[in-house]
């Protein structure tokens, strides 16, 4: 079964817009679990413009589902005396997803170049796995990059699905083709497979039908946007239906 991990960054964005604690990010994480989500994802960035390092720490003891922390291992918090690696090692989530975010980017916009960053990724993967944390590398649908990712010792790769989502309306068969190929390469390399970025109620079912061996999808922006109209409980149920 493909698990649904809800990325709650956007909830923190709304809270931070006014200060205070409305909406309550911690309660929202618990509610997502209560309504059927099989995972919670957060992506703390150094500027803490949405999820804060303190949020990431506070969520761990409150949930029983898988906890996935995304981010650039080179990131250093502007409010805490430690960086992303220190944060993840302290929390010890079920999974860490390595994302090559440049400082100041609006959202994740590329996967790792696993050729240029091979030794660095090997070192980071080894450090996290030594703490018993499953590692996933955020990556484009590029067979060579996936093959080189496998050489780092990572457990999984997460396919960056923005191009699939943006091309879906023009022709879903063409949009999915490189992702099916990439998914097969990952499977042949013995890697687990995650996917995320701009997946939605419109395009998720077809993506899952074509790559049914997906381990997990991580969805935030579209899911939280849908919840404004449908409510979070109904929204989670609809996303789970897409993965049924």
Cα 192-40-234 angle, rounded to 5 deg: 110
92, 98, 102, 106: CA torsion to nearest 10: -80
Residue whose C-alpha is closest to residue 22's, from 10, 30, 14: 14
Indicate the SS3 state at residue 97: strand
Other residues' Cβ atoms within 10 Å of the Cβ of residue 211? 20
**DSSP secondary structure code for residue 74 in this structure:** T
204: left (phi over 0), alpha (psi -120 to 50) or beta: alpha
Are the beta carbons of 201 and 239 closer than 8 angstroms? yes
Residues labelled as active-site residues? 43, 70, 197
Tokens 């922006």, residue? 221
The alpha-helical segments, DSSP class H, found in 139-197 are 143-150, 162-167, 172-188
| CA 141 to mean position of chain CA atoms | 15
Q: Which two tokens stand for residue 80?
A: 């805490």
Element spanning 7, H or E: strand 3-7
**How many C-beta atoms lie closer than 10 Å to residue 106's C-beta?**
7
């Amino acid at each position: 079964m493909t698990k649904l991990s809800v990325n709650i960054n956007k909830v923190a964005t709304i809270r931070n817009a006014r200060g205070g604690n409305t909406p309550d990010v911690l309660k929202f994480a618990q509610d997502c679990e209560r309504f059927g989500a099989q995972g919670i994802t957060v992506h703390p960035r150094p500027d803490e413009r949405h999820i804060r390092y303190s949020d990431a720490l506070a969520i761990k003891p409150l949930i029983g589902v898988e906890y996935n922390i995304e981010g650039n291992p080179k990131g250093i918090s502007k409010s805490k005396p430690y960086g992303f690696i220190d944060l993840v090692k302290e929390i010890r989530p079920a999974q860490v997803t390595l994302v090559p975010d440049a400082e100041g980017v609006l959202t994740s916009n590329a996967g790792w170049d696993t050729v240029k960053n091979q030794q660095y990724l090997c070192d980071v993967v080894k450090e996290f796995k030594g703490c018993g944390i499953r590692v996933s590398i955020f990556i484009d649908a590029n067979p060579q990059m996936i093959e080189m990712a496998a050489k780092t010792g990572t457990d999984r790769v997460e396919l960056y699905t923005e191009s699939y989502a943006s091309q879906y309306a023009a022709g879903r068969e063409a949009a999915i083709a490189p992702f099916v190929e990439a998914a097969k390469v990952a499977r042949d390399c013995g890697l687990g497979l995650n996917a995320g970025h701009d997946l939605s109620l419109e395009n998720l079912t077809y993506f899952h039908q074509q790559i049914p061996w997906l381990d997990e999808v991580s969805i935030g922006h579209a899911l939280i946007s849908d919840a404004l109209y449908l409510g979070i409980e109904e929204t989670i149920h609809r996303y789970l239906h897409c993965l049924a």
